Structure 1
Amino acid sequence: MIDEQTKRPNTFWRELPVLLGVAIIVAVVVRAFVLQTFYIPSESMENTLLIRDRVLVNKLVYDFRSPHRGEVIVFEAPDSWRNDPSEEDFIKRVIATGGDHVVCCDDKQRITVNGKALDETYIYADESGLQDLPSEEQFDVTVPAGRLWVMGDHRSRSGDSRYNFLRHNKDPMQATISEDDVVGRAFVVFWPFSRAKWLSVPETFDKVPAPTAK
């Protein structure tokens, strides 16, 4: 007669390597294709994201649709955007998508997309509550098809589309990123726990009209 109490522990130890192997494979697949964590190394998205925040990125969502205005995305930065070649992944907010006409600024110092002014309440503000200007530089550009105009929420600390538009002789291709270079959408801050929050799309983007066909 088999001793069940002896059999069960032996079975568990035999199966343990298989269970660990499956767990590792699942973790690798999830990280490669579904979800990934990213560490915030700079001030470019303050106060939405602070240095040393950790965000969770959905890597699957853009396999089914294009990025939307207002979403915070992680992308592989063009070589011309990098001060350090090792700086591969950037995180910014999508301000405009292919075909959109982006202008800075209107008579109230607001960025407009397709003629609609953005109420950018997410832009960096100091401890006194004084908010940065949407941009200290003027620009007027139509985003090429299949590309994105992205900006950091802390404009004066962000090497973004606005910065690279002026840096590269107002070339829209140099100032924008390809949708194919987007890693995924950052949708939640999960660390530190005291700052945990969803990264939702600001309501101001709901009012932006579709671009006018030319």
Structure 2
Amino acid sequence: MSDDNDDNDSDVRPWGSKKDDEPQEKRSFWRELAIIIGIVLLISWVGQTFLFRQYVVPSESMESTLIGCAGCSNDRIVIDKLVYRFGDPKPGDVVVFKAPSESWDSGGAPRSSEGLRGKFLDVLSWFGYAPPNEYSLVKRVIATGGQTVECRAAENVGIKVDGKALREPYVNRELQSRVPDAGPCLGPDFGPITVPAGNYWVMGDNRTYSADSRFHTEDEFHGTVPKSDIRGKVRFVIWPISRIGGVGSENPQQ
């Protein structure tokens, strides 16, 4: 007759022992962490692709509405990518768009996608952790497809759309006055130019410092921006703290 204390001795463990549980708990931890990271990345990708995206204002061309300059705290903005899936940009909308021609971007992308670093940054851009590999600009819609836009200093009425002078309260006249001889057009004469259907004439609020549609009339789109190149409507400034707030649309044609 065998001694019961000798049977299955190897299976007897003190209560609470984690000898066999520790590897399983570690595997469970890393599995759960991977799932959480995957969910976060999926939500980020969906949001950045279809709903919203963050950009940094690159220049002073939209001051005083948006601030961007060398040595200052450039505004960080959030665009609404969904709104133009169900409608079209309207006069007064502030939009972010991809450079529609080489006239706007001077050729090429802002960074190389070659090599491991370039491909890594491209992947990060899918999730919003790096900027998209394209020249992005921010301007205000002034005229839409089928409308005619022009400005002649000799008329002394400023910009006209379909023969009517615009009302533009977002243009900081004091800021423009720092540039001598800017004239009523706050830049060179242009037009009349009829905006092609599905395209948009865009200009910066800081007219004397904005290389906008006026300066690209010789390209294939006559200075206008196709809707397919518009990435979204600017909704908010989220940084710096002192500048947090909404970015509204003011129709200059009303």
> What's the TM-score once normalised by structure 1's chain length?
0.80
Q: Structure 2 vs 1, CA of residues 79 and 25 (structure 1 numbering), >3 Å: closer, same or farther?
A: same
Does 2:98 match 1:90? no
Q: Which of 157, 160, 164 is the aligned partner of 2:216?
A: 164
Does 2:56 match 1:34? no
Q: Which of 230, 234, 244 is the aligned partner of 1:196?
A: 244
Deviations 1:102-156 (A, max 9, x none): 1214844321212332111211344698797443322211111111100011112
1: CA distance between counterparts of 2:60 and 2:200? 21
What is the aligned partner in structure 1 of residue 149 from structure 2? Answer: 102
Over the aligned positions, Cα root-mean-square deviation in angstroms equals: 2.7
Deviations 1:38-59 (A, max 9, x none): 0011111111111111100111
2: CA distance between counterparts of 1:154 and 1:128? 7
2: CA distance between counterparts of 1:89 and 1:41? 9
Deviations 1:77-122 (A, max 9, x none): 1222123633511111000000011121484432121233211121
Larger gyration radius, structure 1 or structure 2: 2
2: CA distance between counterparts of 1:16 and 1:156? 52
User: Which moves more between the two structures, 115-124 or 57-66?
Assistant: 115-124
Q: Structure 2 vs 1, CA of residues 135 and 75 (structure 1 numbering), >3 Å: closer, same or farther?
A: same
What secondary structure, in the 3-state scheme, does the structure 1 residue paired with 2:228 have? helix
What is the aligned partner in structure 1 of residue 102 from structure 2? Answer: 79
1: CA distance between counterparts of 2:60 and 2:142? 18
> What's the TM-score once normalised by structure 2's chain length?
0.68
User: Counterparts in 2 of 1:49-128, with a 5 A limit?
Assistant: 49-51=66-68, 52-77=74-99, 78-83=101-106, 85-86=108-109, 88-105=135-152, 107-126=155-174
What is the aligned partner in structure 2 of residue 175 from structure 1? Answer: 223
User: Counterparts in 2 of 1:125-164, with a 5 A limit?
Assistant: 125-126=173-174, 133-139=184-190, 140-164=192-216
2: CA distance between counterparts of 1:164 and 1:84? 14
> Structure 1: which 5+ residue stretches go unaligned?
208-214
8 Å Cα contact 1:146-1:179 kept in structure 2: yes
8 Å Cα contact 1:96-1:150 kept in structure 2: yes
- Give the CA deviation at 1:71: 0.4
Does 2:37 match 1:15? no
